[in-house]
Chain A
Amino acid sequence: MIVKPLHKILIANRGEIALRIMRTCRELGIETVAVFSAADQTAPHVLAADQSYYIGPPPPGESYLAIESLIAVALKAGVDAIHPGYGFLSENPEFARRVREAGLVFIGPTAETIAAMGDKTAARKLARSAGVPIIPGTEDAVVGVEAVEKFCLDHGFPILLKAAAGGGGKGMRIVREGSELRSAFLGARSEARSAFGDDRLFIEKYLQSPRHIEFQILGDAFGNTIHLGERECSIQRRHQKIIEESPSVAVDDELRSVMGETAVRCAMACKYVNAGTVEFLVDRDGKFYFLEMNTRLQVEHPVTEMRTGLDLVALQIRIAQGERLPLRQEEVGFRGHAIECRICAEDPANNFLPASGRICHLRTPSGPGVREDRGIEEGGEVGLYYDSLLAKLVTWAETRDLALARMRRALMEYEIVGVQTNIPLCLFVIDDADFRSGSFTTEFLHDHVMPEGPGLPENLLDASAAVSAFVFHESRKRNGQGNGTGWKAEHGDRWRNQRFEPGSEA
């Protein structure tokens, strides 16, 4: 195989991951092409790229998921490769195939591998044949709600309904009793249809309180496959990861080497080329089960980068160019502890429902051991068309305790106004004694409920009250004393938070 250097790459994505990929491209001297929807005309990823092309209206189906338009733009812009990022078309085998047929390089595994691993029932079969333990469940997709009822009769509750066509928590429902079954089945099916265009569901026995631990793997086109250690991603809400870290407190050297070898075996079974992740669930006894394989760069990849000192995007590009893996398993060095918090547009006071708004103020953390990958800037609009992930905050230190202290410090430095975020939730988890001691599972946020209302010290509340009164006072001076309320007379004689009005909560 001949090495074919890439000179120009189209990034078929938006937000923080598009920017993260462009940063590596710039360092490697590779030109970048951004694509954008009508909602993203002035988005940071557009401004960061060397060139940018409009691809369609805001709904993803008409822009970031429009295979036809993306390939047309790639050919017009004269790129040699497309990086799909994560989400959108990153795990769409049709897209990978069309990119290849257009004579371009797809930075990721082959369409065949994506298809094999994208069908979660097929992936389970493949894992099993490679000697990787899997969770008991149905071998194939179930046809109707009656088939689910039958499985439950045979195996008991709780069970997990999962979309055969995809992961990431979309189209997934836990069913703990018979009465929930029908609505869970319909809900999961409709969510699967809208997220993946495929509403097939299969069943897994639901593992009580497992830990979610995944292994980063890398494979080249010469059959060399290595792993870059684990990431623990047990802190989740509604199957969405919130906090990830490496190493996992639940994995000792022995388990790490067994799981790592298993992950590599799994990747080799599907002739995996490029970066991928093998996800496992680990039960209380340290027994682990194959969950799924993600055939793309993960959101949480910086945790591995901080711990190994490697640039995963650079390695993806080198592999895609036809290079050999530049390092062997025994050359992978691990140092210290890395932890990541996903900063999402969610309203803690509104049951963590997605929040939107215009970011009127943004000041991000820095200092020793802090990395922040973001896709937003001050003045930017957070809409409802795309993922709620605004930024990823990663800290590194010699030990877990130090990395957590650093994360706490960095979260306190993070200032964002105009859209509600889950930063208070991240702080709540980081400060929790069980999380600190390492005794937690994917059920953590079920068992640990964030108290309502912030627990701020008196001096901060005094300062906040003083500033609020001052801001009000100044606006009142500007607008004339009038009715003595200042800001907007039409809102009545009192500034009232709409949230507290009866009927506005769900």
Chain B
Amino acid sequence: MISYTVNIAGTTRTVVVENDGTAEIRESGSSLHVRRLSRGEFSVTSGNNAIRVVAFPAKNVIEVLTGGQSLTATVESEQTRLLRQLQGSSHRTGLRKEIVAPMPALVVRLEVETGQNVKGGQGLLVLEAMKMENEIKAHHDGRVKEILVRPGKIVEKGELLILLE
């Protein structure tokens, strides 16, 4: 019997899981039974209700699909969570200075130069994916410190494009 903290759709639930698939949601007191149907398909029964849930582990999350909606869940064991709280977690906040590619794409053109002052909402560069152009804009006022890509370059999702200061 191990307790996990699950963050899903902006809510946090504490789930106590047994090896046989019994799961209890501490907050609501509901008792559920999880059965694996195939690699990523599950049935979840609670009394006379049976719900179909599809779930696959992705990079750092679990992708869940149910009721026509896809969700992203993060899970950690209660033990880890407490440990983390003790150590004190620091959230990175502040201005976003790193402009990264939101998707794999082709750099079509740059709309700014190094050293140029930019305003929040101003276009910085244009990416093309699946034949559509997407303008990447500055989140806030700043100055272009460094441009790391050139037109014609294929960039990966999350790749650093421009540094602002």
Contact = CB atoms under 8 A, between A and B. Distances in A.
Interface of A: 170, 183, 187, 190-191, 194-195, 238, 345, 347, 350-351, 353-356, 360-361, 363, 384-388, 411-412, 414-418, 420-421, 423-424, 427, 453-454, 456-473, 475-477, 483-488, 491, 493-499, 501-506
B76 interface: yes
A195 to B, nearest CB: 6
Contact of B98 (A466, A483, A495, A503): A503
Given A190-B133, A360-B56, A491-B60, 5 more contacts: A456-B66, A461-B13, A462-B25, A466-B25, A468-B62
A472 B104 CA distance: 29
B59 A467 contact: no
A498 B59 contact: yes
Contacts of B99: 503, 506
Contact of A463 (B51, B68, B132): B51
Contacts of B42: 467, 470
A427 B68 contact: yes
Interface in B46-103: 46, 49, 51, 53-57, 59-77, 79-80, 83-84, 92-94, 96-103
A262 B109 CA distance: 43
B115 interface: no
A473 B42 CA distance: 14
Contacts of B9: 453-454, 456, 461, 464
A467 B34 contact: yes
A463 B61 CA distance: 17
Contacts, number: 234
Interface of B: 2, 4, 6, 8-11, 13, 15, 17, 19, 21, 23, 25, 28, 30, 32, 34, 40-42, 44, 46, 49, 51, 53-57, 59-77, 79-80, 83-84, 92-94, 96-105, 108-109, 111, 123, 126, 128-137, 158
Contact of B73 (A238, A453, A464, A504): A464
Contacts of B68: 411-412, 414, 423-424, 427
Contacts of A238: 132
B103 A468 contact: no
B61 A497 contact: yes
Contact of A360 (B10, B40, B103): B40
27 contacts: A170-B131, A187-B126, A187-B135, A195-B131, A384-B105, A415-B54, A424-B69, A456-B67, A457-B67, A461-B8, A463-B66, A464-B55, A465-B73, A467-B44, A468-B6, A468-B62, A471-B55, A471-B57, A471-B62, A473-B19, A494-B60, A494-B76, A495-B62, A497-B61, A499-B72, A502-B94, A503-B100
Complex A-B, nearest 10 residue pairs according to Cβ-Cβ distance, in ascending order? A469-B15, A468-B73, A454-B69, A466-B23, A463-B44, A503-B98, A472-B75, A412-B68, A495-B60, A506-B102
A332 B73 CA distance: 51
